[in-house]
Amino acid sequence: MVVLLLKSLGINDLIRFEFMDPPPSETLMRALELLYALGALNDRGELTKLGRRMAEFPVDPMLSKAIIASEDYSCTEEVLTIISMLSESGSLFYRPKDKKLHADQARQNFVRPGGDHFTLLNVWEQWAETNYSQQFCYEQFLQFKSISRARDIRDQLAGLCDRVEVVVKSNANTNDITPIQKAMTSGYFYNTARLQKSGDSYRTTKTNQTVHIHPSSSLFQKIPPATFVLYYELVMTSKSFMRQVMEIKPAWLLEVAPHFFKPTDLEQLGGGDKKMPKVVGATGEQERERRV
């Protein structure tokens, strides 16, 4: 995000830029690589038209790319909601000691097919139908302050869409979540992983890091397990856990990021492999987390 901001201000020589606290050159190179992959920079490292639009949003470039891409898939309303809710998802639900079963059931009732992103979208839509009621949050074990912050973020992002001339439309067919999945994949193709043959873990598509679905996810221990997933963030405990996980299809990676993925990559990822890994029960391990 910092690199994108500096580029938008016309500062191109980042290596010689006098940072107060200079980041490692390796970190700068990774940022430039990601911005190029997102289409924010051209092959000369210059800001593109898309990059200028992305720089208008004060969020992670992966999120701003998803917002702009949602215009092509006519689902900006839903993507704005999901992005706003993702920022507060860690503190959205609460679980009182004396009402754990009730809280777990309330959370389970929000779950929708496709993954955690659509659970968050369902939470928002139900809350909006009650005219943003505080009583609704109390009954459903939702943190009113957290979801209210998400509403403020959404209002700000919607205002920026007007400024950047992103046409805000709603998904025409509520039964078809593919446009929303593709829009999110447009920004988060870097954060994708494929199920390993063991069936109890995943491997990230580009870095080959072994990762696991977090026990709080609606896709945790899903049968059959999701073959390909996209995640919002990784948290580190004794393992690397993916949080806020969504099912995707590997073919979408070629559609939304043809400059980052090639057909040969898809073959190596097993995009056409019809064999399903065996399912192994995963442990419900939850520890104090350190975000990365």
Domain extents for the chain?
Answer: 2-55, 67-163, 190-283
* Mean pLDDT to the nearest integer, 235-250: 92
**pTM for this prediction:** 0.85
- Tokens 């400024």 correspond to what residue? 163
Query: Rounded distance, CA 233 to CA 220, Å?
Result: 15
pLDDT reported for residue 15: 66
pLDDT at 27: 79
Is 149 strand, coil or helix? helix
Lowest mean pLDDT among 22-31, 61-70, 97-106: 22-31
Give the phi and the psi of residue 212 in degrees, each rounded to 5: -130, 155
pLDDT at 289 over 50: no
Residue 184, SS3? helix
Tokens matching residue 115 = 């993954």
pLDDT at 286 over 80: no
Of 53, 79, 62, whose CA–CA distance to 169 is shortest? Answer: 79
Tokens of 206: 């580009």
| Residue 118 CB contacts under 8 Å (≥ 6 apart), including other chains | 112, 177, 180, 246
| Closest residue by Cα to residue 77 from 187, 198, 166 | 166
Please, what is the end-to-end C-alpha distance for the chain in angstroms? 16
